[in-house]
Amino acid sequence: MTIDMSQFYEVFFDEAEELLAEAERLLLGINIDDPDNEELNAIFRAAHSIKGGAATFGFMDMTEITHVLENLLDKIRKHEMALTAEHVDAFLAAKDVLKMELDGHRLATDVDQDQVADVKMMLKQLSEAGATPAPATAVVAPPSPVSQPVDAAPVQTEVADGISCFNIVMPDITEKDVENLKEELGLLGDVAVSKQADGHFVITLTTDSSEADIVSICSFIVDPDDLVISLKANSVASSATMPAAEVNPIAAEAVESKTASSTKVLIHEEVGYGLFEEDGKEKQEEGYGFFAPFQPHPDAVKSELIGDDTTLTLSNSGVTNAQPTTGAAKPEAVAGSGLAQEVERKNPGRRESDKAPASAEASSIRVGVEKVDQLINLVGELVITQAMIEQRISMLDPVQNEALINSVGQLTRNTRDLQESVMSIRMMPMDFVFSRFPRMVRDLAAKLNKKVDFATIGATTELDKGLIERIVDPLTHLVRNSVDHGIEIPENRRKAGKSETGTLTLSAAHKGGSIVIEVTDDGAGLNRDRILAKAHSNGLAVSESMTDSEVFSLIFAPGFSTAEVVTDVSGRGVGMDVVKRNITSMGGAVEIRSALGFGTTISISLPLTLAILDGMSVSLGESVYVIPLNLIVETLQPRAEDIKTVTGEGRMVHVRGEYLPIIALHSLFNHATDITDPTQGVLVLLESDGKKSALFVDRLVGQQQVVIKSLETNFKKVLGVSGATIMGDGSVALILDVAALIQMGQSTNYITGAASFSNQNNQHMQRNA
Amino acid sequence: MSTDNVVNNVSSKAKSAEGEYLTFVLGAEEYGLEILKVQEIRGYDAVTQIANTPEFIKGVVNLRGKIVPIVDLRIKFNLGKVEYNEFTVVIILNLHGRVVGIVVDGVSDVIALKEDQIRDVPSLVTSIDTKYIVGLATLEQRMLILVDIEQLMTSQEMALVDAVAA
């Protein structure tokens, strides 16, 4: 080999990984009783692409598996074999093996050869067992031994589709390409090639496949946009009004969705409509709005289940109406309602890139995270510099320096735009996290003998990459908990008058300056009384008068997770303290809403980015400190009679019936200031980890967004300080670590009493803290 | 530190101390540090104090968007008069990507030292542990103390590096 292929390995690994993830997503979303041809094709193409790539790079083990997989998939997508749950399981197993092999090549991890062989055998067996007489191979085999699920009563797509005859006019391509195409299309049905007067080739194809199939096959060789496909004999019953000239692939999709409408979806994931990818995710979401009547609201899932028949009728008429004016959003809406509970759809990018690799490459580039981070840092500095210039400019005479001031105004706007754009580079859709859950829920539900429908809402919501990575673990934990403890086993659900299939919804949405991620199940809900009893026996301070949210928050208490709680109908609690801690460390908050018997929602709110913080700057002597705004409850200037002491020392402030300890920042930081009397300064009430304290500072300076800089880059961690930032005048301000301050304030070494008026007194104590 | 009986120790262990050094003044003594560790030299700006740190850590400054700690070596080694004016010099060091500033009395020169100009350090009791001193060099009548600034700044006693985070 003359070219060093290894330089391309990384690209292949990335792509293969994406393809595998995509295939898995499609497999999980597939409707076994009535598989969508498009989805089958997409899975087939994924396998095919991996096979091609693996063969090119000489990863023969991956080629072998994908080859067997491809054979089986091919039979299924040509309807020579009915898709069964067994197949899906086998495919998923194959996907896992491929992933393992991929990792083996990439990260040199172990590959379990036995597992590989098992999967290969399984695929081969399935492939042979299910084979019905196929035109090419003529293998005679008994009809599929795997019986269809009993509750399945769908119409097979092929029956509804009937046989059609298409005329496909090729753009300018070589004869060899036409030959190749002819061969490929031959797999679908009978093909004849003729040449038009203008030199274009015309392929006549008689097939039971849809236009979309043809387009996707042709797209391997020609640009689908250049294709002119027309329907010769109008034999598709449902598409009688199909425009004669150029069949809009979208319309074709619509027909498909109609015929593919089903009454039951086990796991609803997105249906692959890669054709609409170019419309962008934003637009699709808008599409939802237009067709609100068809869209089941997540809360209305239950009623949607009952009223399924009506929805189906609605959606069918929707197809008819939609046909003449087919817009990108319409088939979406139709399919959405047809699938009844499908709440969220994101298009797979895969198919798009399969079809037109050139355009896909042009639309995105892979860049190392460090480069992006560097860019963000630089822009952060630019913003600071810009603020400095602005501050200096404000001191100039506005009349004399009008031009300069105008220019700086423009600079300010540009900088702000630049900052926004750069920050958006780091943003990633939540789908990155959500996409891993369907499989997990499926496997977990199977293991626990539960029936769980999984849905996601707002997967396109964007979040900082750093947060995305850190939210995975807590979210995994919460989803696991919901399936494990939240959703009941089918018998119990039936007894409770609920449908046997539980629903687990993951949602993400922007709310103000933060993102709210919710894990909702319609399970048993939290039992207030049990939690209270448990908390009481654990020695936690509880009372009957606590609000529900306070009671539910108790499950976040460390050590609350015990075996007894787990056996409870909804015994969340295992490691919930870790979840809470992780989220708090990201600057977020967790809240639980639950109703006994109806389900639980765990709501996580996170800041949009880790790089910028909403802060309140406070002054202490000459210095300025920044306090994260989300931890401030309120600020007040106390009256002398509200300040109380214990044994003449520990000072407290009496605020609305609560006695809160006063932490004097100047003595904690051993910092010279003139103001040592709380009534002369300001008390900032802080809350962290459920503990409240009043931080005593000189005065409030102002509220502003600050760019967080790490102290540890060049220095070390400082107790009570979580980072630093650069203020408008170029000086450095430290960002206070509220949780640590509260802890420092409560440590026995620190005396908040009159003694702390003299700084020397507790100097040595600081060291100990 | 006494400077008289230093030259007794003639044996020069072939340390690869050869190279260019930036010389700076602390009190009455002249020191040298490897020039490649120096990022820049600047004046002394207002620093932001950091609570509960040793006195010689003056605080942090904003160096073009980076938060850089400033250490006053005069305080650390009890040398010279500690005052801050327009002549106060800060040497910004880049130690393997870690940026640290040191306050000194003045910066004098950059000199190239040959190996035969560098002598070993005798055992002495000083406020700088001799392990941080690479060697001594004689320049005309002056003695130059060559400091392994990287070792020194990352040492435990400088309290610049994380080790004792509570």
In a domain, A619, yes or no: yes
Half-sphere exposure of A540 (CA within 13 A, CB side): 21
pLDDT at A342: 39
pLDDT at A229: 67
| Residue listed under structure tokens 């692959």 | A272
pLDDT at B40: 92
Verify that A573 and A616 share a domain, yes or no.
no
Exposure b/e, A503-512, CB count within 10 A at least 16 = b: bbbbbbeeee
DSSP chain B: ---STTTT----------EEEEEEEETTEEEEEEGGGEEEEEEPPP-B--TT--TTEEEEEEETTEEEEEEEHHHHTT-S----STT-EEEEEEETTEEEEEEESEEEEEEEE-GGGEEPPPP---SS-GGGEEEEEEETTEEEEEE-HHHHHTSGGGT-SSS---
Q: Does A557 touch chain B (CB under 8 A)?
A: no
pLDDT at A765: 39
pLDDT at B41: 92
Q: Chain B closest CA to A670's CA: distance in Å?
A: 6
pLDDT at A730: 75
Q: Is the pLDDT of residue B91 over 90?
A: yes
Q: Does A173 touch chain B (CB under 8 A)?
A: no
* Tokens encoding A627: 């306090």
CB A626 within 8 A of CB A613: yes
Task: Using an 8 Å CB-CB cutoff, list chain B residues near A671.
Answer: 49, 51
**pLDDT tens digits, A249-295:** 444 444 444 444 433 333 344 444 444 444 444 444 444 444 444 44
d(CA A353, CA A363): 10
The beta-carbon neighbor of B166 closest among A724, A732, A769 is A769
Residue B92 pLDDT class (50, 70, 90 cuts): very high
Q: Is the pLDDT of residue A764 over 50?
A: no
For an interface test with A, which of B42, B67, B94, B99 has the most A Cβ atoms less than 10 Å from its Cβ? Answer: B67
Q: Does B93 touch chain A (CB under 8 A)?
A: no
Q: Is the pLDDT of residue A738 over 90?
A: no
pLDDT at A316: 39
- Hey, are the CB atoms on B165 and A716 less than 8 Å from each other? yes
**pLDDT tens digits, B32-68:** 999 999 999 998 888 888 888 888 888 999 887 788 9
Q: Does B64 touch chain A (CB under 8 A)?
A: yes
Which residues neighbour A672 within 8 Å (Cβ) at sequence distance 6 or greater? A621, A666, A759
Half-sphere exposure of A251 (CA within 13 A, CB side): 22
CB A464 within 8 A of CB A502: no
For an interface test with B, which of A714, A726, A734, A743 has the most B Cβ atoms less than 10 Å from its Cβ? Answer: A714
In a domain, A254, yes or no: no
pLDDT at A268: 41
- Hey, are the CB atoms on B162 and A712 less than 8 Å from each other? yes
Verify that A419 and A565 share a domain, yes or no.
no
CATH of the domain at A759: 2.40.50.180
**pLDDT tens digits, A175-184:** 666 677 676 6
CB B91 within 8 A of CB B101: yes
pLDDT at A3: 57
pLDDT at A174: 66
pLDDT at A170: 67
| Residue listed under structure tokens 């850190």 | A470
Q: Which residue of A has its CA nearest to B101?
A: A714
Q: Does B14 touch chain A (CB under 8 A)?
A: no
Verify that A445 and A571 share a domain, yes or no.
yes
pLDDT at A200: 67
Task: Using an 8 Å CB-CB cutoff, list chain B residues near A730.
Answer: 62
- Hey, are the CB atoms on B99 and A709 less than 8 Å from each other? no
Which residues neighbour A140 within 8 Å (Cβ) at sequence distance 6 or greater? A133
Verify that A66 and A102 share a domain, yes or no.
yes
* Tokens encoding A16: 């293969």
Q: Does B46 touch chain A (CB under 8 A)?
A: yes
Residue that finishes a domain, picked among A184, A201, A236: A236
Q: Chain B closest CA to A643's CA: distance in Å?
A: 26
d(CA A269, CA A436): 11
d(CA A647, CA A712): 40
CATH of the domain at A223: 3.30.70.920
d(CA A128, CA A139): 9
Verify that A467 and A421 share a domain, yes or no.
no
Residue-averaged pLDDT of chain A: 70
Task: Using an 8 Å CB-CB cutoff, list chain B residues near A378.
Answer: 65
Verify that A29 and A43 share a domain, yes or no.
yes
| Mean pLDDT, residues A616-638 | 88
User: A356 or A459: which carries more pLDDT confidence?
Assistant: A459
- Hey, are the CB atoms on B65 and A710 less than 8 Å from each other? no
Q: Chain B closest CA to A629's CA: distance in Å?
A: 21
Q: Does A414 touch chain B (CB under 8 A)?
A: no
Which residues neighbour B126 within 8 Å (Cβ) at sequence distance 6 or greater? B1
Q: Does B139 touch chain A (CB under 8 A)?
A: no
pLDDT at A276: 45
In a domain, A71, yes or no: yes
Element (H, E) at A694: strand A691-697
DSSP A632-679: EEEEE---GGGEEEETTTEEEEEETTEEEEEEEHHHHTT---S--STT
Interface of B with A in 115-134 (CB under 8 A): none
Query: Between the CA of residue A573 and those of A441, A544, A555, what are the distances in Å?
Result: 19, 20, 5
Lowest mean pLDDT among A20-24, A363-367, B108-112: A363-367
Domain housing A509? 430-607
CB A18 within 8 A of CB A350: yes
Q: Does A373 touch chain B (CB under 8 A)?
A: no
pLDDT at A321: 41
| Mean pLDDT, residues A612-640 | 86
**pLDDT tens digits, A519-564:** 998 888 888 888 888 788 777 777 777 777 778 877 777 666 544 4
Name which of A317, A368, A350 is nearest A50 in CA terms: A350
Task: Using an 8 Å CB-CB cutoff, list chain A residues near B67.
Answer: 709-711, 713-715, 724, 726, 732
DSSP, res A753? S
Q: What angle do CA A503, A504, A506 make, to 5 degrees?
A: 140
DSSP, res A574? T
Q: Is the pLDDT of residue A157 over 50?
A: no
Query: Between the CA of residue A294 and those of A286, A307, A343, A638, what are the distances in Å?
Result: 14, 12, 11, 57
Query: Between the CA of residue A84 and those of A87, A130, A146, B26, B95, what are the distances in Å?
Result: 5, 10, 7, 83, 63
Q: Is the pLDDT of residue B148 over 80?
A: yes
Verify that A650 and A730 share a domain, yes or no.
yes
Residue that finishes a domain, picked among A113, A129, A145: A129
Q: Is the pLDDT of residue A569 over 80?
A: no
Backbone Cα Rg of chain B: 16
CB A592 within 8 A of CB A519: no
Neighbours of B3 (CB within 10 A): 12
Query: Between the CA of residue A406 and those of A390, A402, A403, A413, A415, what are the distances in Å?
Result: 11, 6, 5, 11, 14
Verify that A469 and A498 share a domain, yes or no.
yes
Partnered with residue A617 across adjacent β-strands are A626, A702
In a domain, A479, yes or no: yes
User: A331 or A623: which carries more pLDDT confidence?
Assistant: A623
Query: For A264, phi and psi rounded to 5 degrees?
Result: -140, 130
Residue B85 pLDDT class (50, 70, 90 cuts): confident
| Residue listed under structure tokens 């840092």 | A377
d(CA A238, CA A242): 9
| Mean pLDDT, residues A617-630 | 88
- Indicate the residue type of A462: E
d(CA B128, CA B147): 9
In a domain, A745, yes or no: yes
Name which of A194, A369, A348 is nearest A273 in CA terms: A348
Q: Which residue of B has its CA nearest to A625?
A: B48
Verify that A504 and A388 share a domain, yes or no.
no
In a domain, A353, yes or no: no
Task: Using an 8 Å CB-CB cutoff, list chain B residues near A711.
Answer: 60, 67
Q: Does A759 touch chain B (CB under 8 A)?
A: no
Q: Is the pLDDT of residue A151 over 50?
A: no
For an interface test with A, which of B44, B48, B71, B90 has the most A Cβ atoms less than 10 Å from its Cβ? Answer: B48
Q: Chain B closest CA to A711's CA: distance in Å?
A: 6
| Mean pLDDT, residues A682-709 | 84
Q: Is the pLDDT of residue B26 over 50?
A: yes
| Mean pLDDT, residues A732-751 | 76
The B106-113 sheet, strands edge to edge? B106-113, B19-26, B29-34, B142-147, B133-139, B118-119
In a domain, A622, yes or no: yes
Verify that A633 and A734 share a domain, yes or no.
yes
Task: Using an 8 Å CB-CB cutoff, list chain A residues near B100.
Answer: 714
| Mean pLDDT, residues B88-113 | 89
Q: Is the pLDDT of residue A198 over 60?
A: yes
Name which of B21, B56, B30, B26 is nearest B148 in CA terms: B21
Residue-range domains of chain B with CATH: 19-158 (2.40.50.180)
Verify that A695 and A665 share a domain, yes or no.
yes
Q: Which residue of B has its CA nearest to A768?
A: B166
Q: Does A718 touch chain B (CB under 8 A)?
A: yes
Q: Which residue of B has its CA nearest to A620?
A: B49
**What SS3 class is residue A193?**
strand
Q: Does B95 touch chain A (CB under 8 A)?
A: no
In a domain, A735, yes or no: yes
Q: Is the pLDDT of residue A598 over 80?
A: yes
Exposure b/e, A700-729, CB count within 10 A at least 16 = b: bbeebebbbbebeebbbbbbbbbbbbbbbe
pLDDT at A117: 82
Verify that A626 and A602 share a domain, yes or no.
no
Lowest mean pLDDT among A212-226, A331-345, A376-390, A549-563: A331-345
Task: Using an 8 Å CB-CB cutoff, list chain B residues near A716.
Answer: 159-163, 165
pLDDT at A211: 67
Residue A122 pLDDT class (50, 70, 90 cuts): confident
- Hey, are the CB atoms on A724 and B48 less than 8 Å from each other? yes
CATH of the domain at A26: 1.20.120.160
Number of domains in chain A: 6
Percent of all residues in chain B with a pLDDT value above 70, rounded to a whole number: 84
User: A186 or A614: which carries more pLDDT confidence?
Assistant: A614
| Residue listed under structure tokens 């102290």 | A711
d(CA A507, CA A511): 12
Neighbours of A541 (CB within 10 A): 7
**pLDDT tens digits, A19-73:** 888 788 778 777 777 777 777 777 877 887 787 777 777 777 887 888 888 778 7
**What SS3 class is residue A83?**
coil
* Tokens encoding A607: 């800041």
Reported ipTM exceeds the 0.85 cut: no
Exposed, middle or buried, A382 (CB in 10 Å: 0-12/13-18/19+)? middle
**pLDDT tens digits, A63-109:** 788 888 877 877 777 777 777 777 888 888 888 888 888 888 877 77
Q: Which residue of B has its CA nearest to A727?
A: B62
Which residues neighbour A49 within 8 Å (Cβ) at sequence distance 6 or greater? A15, A19, A354
Name which of A594, A559, A565 is nearest A578 in CA terms: A559
- Hey, are the CB atoms on B50 and A718 less than 8 Å from each other? yes
pLDDT at A389: 85
